[in-house]
Amino acid sequence: MRKVFGLDATIDGVPVQGNTDIGILRAVLRQQGLSDAEIDFGLPKLVEQMCAEVRLNASQMSPELCPSINELVSMLHSKGKLLGAASGNLETIGWLKLERAGLRDMFAFGSFSHPLEFRADIFRHGVTIARQRLGSSAKVYVVGDTPADIEAARAVSVPVIALATGIFQFDQLVALSPDACFGCATDMLSVA
């Protein structure tokens, strides 16, 4: 933000769990008094700068995997399931996180923020890609760990499996009536 907008800003006070990178950036820039027109004008350059910084510092990324997530993703991949990443991260950042976690090769496609800003649009795009590859009647599921994931899956009319692996507790997620809810991937793996 300093290089593109000349601002020293932080994400303090901006909700990040379940938000998208673009949503976070927009909220921070609004806090700094920028209009949506000013943000939209500088956003492509800001996205380019962020991605360049992440690529430059990728070796410092050390994603923390949820218990059994590697085994779950590996099992689904080995069974021939088409796996796609639908993430609020910018594409470069999302793929680098999966790469650093050792999971990148198991995902056939991705749907990320920018130019899509809202989680429902990201999921809708991911579902479209999956159905283009598998057929229009293919059964597509979303797995997520935030209320925003559940809401977005509902908005695009796909079943959602919630995993209480982030900051949201099992009780909080199950109260939103996902199609299934598990405490972690280990529990999901036991019924898969």
Same domain, 81 and 168: yes
pLDDT tens-place string over residues 75-100: 999 999 999 999 999 999 999 999 99
How much is the pLDDT for 147?
Answer: 97
Q: pLDDT-based confidence at 66, cuts 50/70/90? A: confident
How much is the pLDDT for 60?
Answer: 96
Same domain, 117 and 90: yes
Same domain, 116 and 176: yes
Range list of β-strands (E), 114-176: 142-144, 160-163
In a domain, residue 120? The reply is yes
Domain at 89, CATH number: 3.40.50.1000
In a domain, residue 155? The reply is yes
- Hey, which residues does 116 pair with through a beta bridge? 113
Work out the number of other CB atoms within 10 angstroms of the CB of residue 136: 7
How much is the pLDDT for 190?
Answer: 86
Same domain, 134 and 158: yes
Same domain, 180 and 86: yes
How much is the pLDDT for 21?
Answer: 96
Same domain, 103 and 141: yes
| CA–CA distances in Å: residue 187 to residues 5, 170, 179 | 45, 12, 15
CA distance 187 to 130: 26
Task: Give every CB contact of residue 118 below 8 A, 6+ residues apart in sequence.
Answer: 20, 23, 152
Decide which of 14, 40, 59 is a domain's last residue: 59
What six digits make up the tokens of 121? 């649009």
Q: pLDDT-based confidence at 133, cuts 50/70/90? A: very high
Phi, psi of 130 (to 5 degrees): -60, -45
Residue whose token pair is 């943000």: 39
In a domain, residue 64? The reply is no
Same domain, 39 and 79: no
- Hey, which residues does 85 pair with through a beta bridge? 110
Decide which of 59, 83, 104 is a domain's last residue: 59
Contact 148, 18 (CB under 8 A): yes
Q: pLDDT-based confidence at 166, cuts 50/70/90? A: confident
Same domain, 78 and 39: no
Same domain, 52 and 92: no
CA dihedral of 174, 178, 179, 183, whole degrees rounded to 10: -50
Q: Residues 105-129: what's their mean pLDDT?
A: 97
